[in-house]
Amino acid sequence: MSAEANPAPPLEPAALAITWQDDRHPLRVAEMDLAHREFVELVNALANCPDREFAERFKSLMNHTRAHFAAEEELMMKSGFPALGEHAGEHKRVIDELSQFGRGLNRGRVFLARSYVQSGLPEWFSLHLATMDAALAAHLNAVRASGVQVELTRNTLPVL
C-alpha cells in the first residue's frame, strides 16, 4: 500500500500535564501566582518536548523551581510564617527529587524523568498548592491586610 493511500493520522494535540484552573489555582498573592503559572507552562512544555530538548528544558524547570521556592521562603521569613520549617522542608524534598532525575538524565534516562514530569510532579504541585502554598497565601494576605509590608527584595523570580 502506498503512503498516499494510507496517510499517517494527524498528530493528537499533546496532553497537558497540568491544566491551569482559574477557579482553583490562583492564591491571590501576585508573586506566587506568577511563579505558579510559569511553573505550569514549563512543566507542560517539558512533558511534551522532543527527547533531544528534554535535558535543557529540565534544567530550566529546576532553576525556575529553585527561584520559586526561594521567593516563597523569603516571603515566609519576612512575614513570620509559623510553618516555615515544614514548608521549606517540603521544598527541599522536591528539589532533591528533581536533582535525582537530573542525574538520571545525565546518564540518558529521559523516560523516567519524563514520566515524573507528566504525572508525579503535577500531582505534587496540585496538592502542595492546595495545602502549604494556600496556607502561606492566606497568612500573607492577612499580614498585608493589617498594613505590614512584605516584599521580595531579591529578584528571585526568573524571567522565562
**Footprint of Fe ion (CB under 5 A):** 72, 133
Judged by DSSP in three states, 156 sits in coil
**Measured distance CA(160)–CA(157) in Å, rounded:** 9
For the bound state, the minimum distance from the C-beta of residue 125 to Fe ion, rounded and expressed in Å, comes to 8
For the bound state, the minimum distance from the C-beta of residue 77 to Fe ion, rounded and expressed in Å, comes to 13
Judged by DSSP in three states, 144 sits in helix
**Measured distance CA(160)–CA(158) in Å, rounded:** 6
What is the chain's percent helix, strand, coil content, to nearest 5? 65, 0, 35
For the bound state, the minimum distance from the C-beta of residue 52 to Fe ion, rounded and expressed in Å, comes to 30
From residue 126, how far is each of 20, 109, 115, 142, 150 by CA, in Å?
Answer: 10, 25, 17, 23, 25
Nearest to Fe ion of 105, 140 (CB atom) = 140
Nearest to Fe ion of 27, 45 (CB atom) = 27
Nearest to Fe ion of 40, 105 (CB atom) = 40
Nearest to Fe ion of 27, 105 (CB atom) = 27
For the bound state, the minimum distance from the C-beta of residue 113 to Fe ion, rounded and expressed in Å, comes to 21
